[in-house]
Amino acid sequence: MEQKLKIAIQKSGRLYEDSVKLLKDCGIDVKNGINKLKTEAENFPLEIYFLRDDDIPQYVEDAVADIGIVGENVVFEKNKKVSIVEQLGFGKCRLSIAVGRKDDYNGVGYLNGRRIATSYPVLVQKFLAENGVQAELHEISGSVEIAPGIGLADAIVDLVSSGSTLFMNGLKEVDTVLRSQAVLIRNQGLDENKLQILERLLFRIRAVKKAKN
Ligand code: PRT
Ligand code: ZN
């Protein structure tokens, strides 16, 4: 039996539909799995695992999955030993600093000595260090945008796409830490056979991207 390449994609959420659509656009027949943990393709040597996006870099580093689709924001925050193979052009967003609409933010120095709430402590710490800013970080896992309103933080760093979440919470976007989109990542120790399947998949992905431009 031919060996299969194992790909991890988000189980549900913002990247799920575009990830499945990309595979389908590549002519890969994604069978609707009975359980939604794992399924396989009918016409391509690919096994699809559905996981939480935060876990995908670790699974790919550990070779539980050979490749994965995940936001660059997650790849860089988790800092696992995986390689980015291709930017996929969807899931675009930015990791941005936001403060109260009436606050007089005048550059990153504004953050000195202030409290920042974020779900991205690694990326924020790195950004602050690069800019010589010392601030107090509060890591929270969800609903970061409510932190200033309840007096938990003076600023937040969170993902933004349309900006409406910030707006609805009385915040304004003032600086960007990182621009992000979905990427294909791979395990760094793939054997020849799996690399060949990956090449075939990449060839199709690039054709799909080209057709869209
Ligand atoms: O369950 P699981 O852990 O897998 O999913 P999740 O809830 O952690 O992630 P999910 O599905 O919200 O996002 C998956 C990925 O989509 C992120 O890691 C980003 O790479 C990408 N992405 C693109 C976004 C956004 N745009 C985005 N706008 N992820 C989150 N948001 C959130 C943001 O955190 C904020 O709450 O949307 C809100 C802001 O949106 P706007 O349009 O109001 O600005
Ligand atoms: Zn997540």
Summarised one tens digit per residue, pLDDT across range 31-40 is 765 567 899 9
- Rounded to two decimals, the pTM is 0.96
Q: Which secondary-structure segment (H or E) carries 172? A: strand 171-180
Higher pLDDT, 32 or 54: 54
pLDDT 10s digits, 82-102? 999 999 999 999 999 999 999
If one residue of 93, 97, 172 were mutated to test the ligand 1 pocket, choosing by the most ligand atoms within 8 A of its CB, it would be 93
| pLDDT for 191 beyond 70 | yes
Q: Is 82 helix (H, G, I), strand (E, B) or coil?
A: strand
Cβ(71) to ligand 1 under 6 A? Answer: yes
Which atom of ligand 1 has the smallest separation from the CA of 119? 34
**Structural element, H or E, at residue 155:** strand 155-160
Atom of ligand 1 nearest to the CA of 51: 4
pLDDT band at 212 (very low <50, low <70, confident <90, very high): confident
> How large a percentage of the chain has pLDDT more than 90?
94
**Per-residue pLDDT averaged across 67-81, rounded?**
98
- Write the CA distances from 91 to 18, 49, 72, 105, 209, integer angstroms: 8, 19, 9, 28, 14
- Ranges 40-44, 71-75, 100-104: which has the least confidence: 40-44
Q: Which atom of ligand 1 is nearest to the CA of 165?
A: 43
CA of 61 to the centre of ligand 2 (A): 17
Question: Residue 54: which residues within 8 A CB-CB, separation 6 or more?
Answer: 74, 78
> pLDDT tens digits, residue range 142-171?
999 999 999 999 999 999 999 999 999 999
Tell me which of 53, 124, 181 to substitute to probe ligand 1's pocket, judged by most ligand atoms within 8 Å of the beta carbon.
53
| Mean pLDDT of the residues in the chain | 96
Q: Would you state the pLDDT for residue 9?
A: 97
Domains and their CATH numbers in the chain: 5-91+181-212 (3.40.190.10), 93-180 (3.40.190.10)
C-alpha 70/C-alpha 79 separation (Å) is 13
User: Ligand 1 pocket test: which of 11, 74, 161 has the largest number of ligand atoms within 8 Å of its C-beta?
Assistant: 161
Q: What is the pLDDT of residue 36?
A: 78
